[in-house]
Amino acid sequence: MKRMDKNLLDYLTEGLKWSGIVTGGYFSLLFASGIFGKMPWYTRINSQEELEYVVAEECKKLGLNKKEIDVFYDKYNVNCAGKRDGRLSLNISSFLRPTKHAVRHELCHLVKDCDKFEKFIKDNKRTMKGWLYYLFVAEPRAELYATFGIKL
Ligand SMILES: [Zn+2]
């Protein structure tokens, strides 16, 4: 009986250790990329023209055709990317980090996530599975790409 209790405790400790490592790693990644994203070399984008230029540059790196993407500076108050009326669309807000980093982050969503996001919408709302996907797959992946250029 004592033996079993010890095993159970071992498993529990091990489980807690790993969830701690994963959770810590997750938040450090978001925190670190937040700081990197504010470094001076992430020059602010100030206009539609500058944004078009950065998007064109970054599309080449991802093998995207810029002509297929409707690019907006400040049309919405959030940085977002996805499908609108059957076309790809990307918006960068002047209020929220309008940088090359933000463009790279949103372009990564266009390549990797926008089809999947659609599947996770039910009754115009993101499902629980959708939120988990967004938090633990889409966001860390987009940040890794935007900050370090790592394609996963
Ligand atoms: Zn994102």
Domain ranges of the chain: 37-148
Q: How far is the CA of 20 from the centre of ligand 1 (A)?
A: 23
Q: How far is the CA of 113 from the centre of ligand 1 (A)?
A: 10
Mean pLDDT of 69-89: 92
Is the pLDDT reported for residue 40 higher than 60? no
Q: How far is the CA of 90 from the centre of ligand 1 (A)?
A: 12
Q: How far is the CA of 62 from the centre of ligand 1 (A)?
A: 17
Q: How far is the CA of 105 from the centre of ligand 1 (A)?
A: 6
Angle formed at CA 119 by CA 117 and CA 121, multiple of 5 degrees? 75
Residues surrounding ion ligand 1 at CB below 5 Å: 142
What is d(CA 78, CA 74) in angstroms, rounded to the nearest whole number? 8
What would the pLDDT profile of 82-118 be if each residue is shown by its tens digit? 888 889 999 999 988 799 999 999 999 999 998 888 8
Q: Check: pTM over 0.85? Answer yes or no.
A: no
Burial class (CB in 10 A: 0-12, 13-18, 19+), 63: exposed
